A and B are shown apart, each in its own frame.
Chain A
Amino acid sequence: MKPAAAPHQLLILIPAFNEVGAISGVVHEVRGVMPGVPILVVDDASTDGTDRSARAAGAYVLRLPYHLGLGGGVQAGYKLAYELGYEYVIRVDGDGQHDPKYIPDLLTVLRDTGCHMVIGSRFQDGNGVHTSSVRAIGIWFFRSMLRPILGKPVRDPTSGFVGVNRQALQVFTGSFPLEYPEIEALVVLQRKRFQFQEVPCRMRPRKTGRSTITAVKSLYYIFHVLLGVFINVLKFEGRRRKE
């Protein structure tokens, strides 16, 4: 296991909404892998006591006054991390799908390569894939669509297991997609000529609760993300032309 980061350089960010059944275990697991590293749970106005459970497990809790959605919660955590001077933030989902033992790998790539964002990819080494067939088709679709836009392949564009450095944090404090942020965030960074890398990791089935992306929402998800990507490409191309 790689050494833990020095305190106040790395922050572990865990967005959570009604994850009382899983959050305590996730916090303890992260603490076991990264002792001494602060863990911030962003509680998106849960109604099941997620904030109390996270606090009892030893995490700091940023509780939002009302439900903002995943992007709003993650951005709130990024804003706080940026204001507190953190160099790196690694986001781990609060449902237990992301195995914290890969956090040191993500951090090492962020530090050693100087890339701005690192993605924990369940497809990078082809093992440990835990995803539904609908989601797998969606991932394939977005992977094919993003290839020409990003100029390089991305194997797991919907992964929420991501790490960012301070430069990316600064960008995201100003602009971060509010719904389904992962893919749009990639496009935003690429348009600013930031670099990203993928690190192989194993995803697990969620411990409790259900995914926010249900079968009914899938079509809306695809349309929303496509529109977001298109708008971002137009926005940045417009700015580039003006420059």
Chain B
Amino acid sequence: MERLLNVTTALSVLLMALVLFSVRRSHIRVEYSVSWLAAAAILFALSRSSSALTWIAGQLGLADPPLALMLLVFCVFVIVIYRLSVVISDLKDANIAMAQRLAIVEFQMQSRLPGSPLSANEE
């Protein structure tokens, strides 16, 4: 168990460093780094507190604390991925609306050129 906790600690520190590095290089925006940093911090805290992990395992009815750790890791990343899916969906909707608006504005600008009868001004 000790080895698993050490590996989890190392991975959480690595994740934090990677996210901070990416934010510094502007590869990830600050608002989207928060979920990953929070996830890494939770993993770090759990991996450094075996008593907390044992208590959580007891609450969940799991005899083996590493199983509780794996379950929590899974839950944390599912939440992060879910949040990102929501963000991506919002961005896609906004992107589609913007592409449609761009096409319409371009069309209307061209229609105002001489000899173009299909124009909003002609209703």
Contact = CB atoms under 8 A, between A and B. Distances in A.
A72 B96 contact: yes
Contact of B120 (A38, A72, A83): A83
A64 B100 contact: yes
Given A38-B118, A80-B104, A65 B99 contact: yes
A8 B122 contact: yes
A76 B100 contact: yes
B103 interface: yes
A149 interface: no
A77 to B, nearest CB: 9
B123 A8 contact: yes
Contacts of A64: 99-100, 103
A150 interface: no
- Range of interface residues on A (Cβ < 8 Å): 20 to 34
Interface in B81-123: 96, 99-100, 102-104, 106-107, 111, 117-118, 120, 122-123
Contacts of B118: 38, 40, 60, 84
A229 to B, nearest CB: 19
Nearest to B120: A84
B107 A80 contact: yes
Contacts of B111: 60
Interface string A64-102: 111010001001100110011100000000000000000
A62 to B, nearest CB: 5
B103 A62 contact: yes
7 contacts: A38-B117, A64-B99, A64-B100, A66-B99, A72-B96, A72-B99, A79-B104
Closest 5 CB pairs of A and B: A76-B100, A85-B123, A64-B103, A62-B107, A60-B118
